[in-house]
Amino acid sequence: MISRRLIPGSKTARALAVAALGALALVTVLALTGFFGPAEYGTDERTIGVEAGDDFTLTVPARPWMGEHWYLAAEPDADVLDYKGTREEIEGADDDVVGGGDGTAYFDFTARARGTTTVTLLHCPMARCSGVASARETSPPVPTAGATDEPADEPAYFRYEITVR
């Protein structure tokens, strides 16, 4: 077997470098254009800008085994955003354990037209509420989480300002 070394500055070395840079540029462009799926925003990103026609997702931690649930508290302006629905992905639970494990809840949207609207999610930890109505009844007033707050032990509204360009 003949072994060949790559000589720095050679045509082969330059061709490999160009190919590697091209592949990196392609992956970067695909990631930035949402090729790998809709953009996702967590609880630490509450001011969001998207383009009309873009799909995006608000992601929040999900621990249903602890009685933690998230709800869409108020529909956003339907002229600006289309709410597609909510889903959960839970990991780490045994197949025979209902509700065990940690994961993520996803609130999916499509940006429809230029404008700004607010999406309000209600965080209900440790079975403190079972939706927007019960949160108002059991612990009035329900506070609004600050822009940098993480989900805590008390019910709180998480408000996201969405601007569609």
Same domain, 48 and 25: no
Residues in the chain predicted with pLDDT less than 50, given as ranges, are 33, 138-140
User: Which residue range forms the structural domain that includes residue 127?
Assistant: 39-164
DSSP state of 164: E
pTM as predicted: 0.69
Per-residue model confidence (pLDDT) at position 37:
85
Mean pLDDT of all residues in the chain? 80
Into how many domains does the chain fold?
2
For 57, half-sphere exposure in the C-beta direction (CA atoms, 13 angstrom radius) is 16
Per-residue model confidence (pLDDT) at position 140:
46
Per-residue model confidence (pLDDT) at position 136:
54
Same domain, 20 and 81: no
Per-residue model confidence (pLDDT) at position 108:
98
Number of other CB atoms surrounding residue 35 within 10 Å: 10
Burial 116-135 (b: 16+ CB within 10 A, else e): ebebbbbbbbeebbeebeeb
Per-residue model confidence (pLDDT) at position 96:
66
Same domain, 25 and 93: no
Q: For position 145, which CATH number holds?
A: 2.60.40.2020
For residue 160, being part of any structural domain is answered with yes
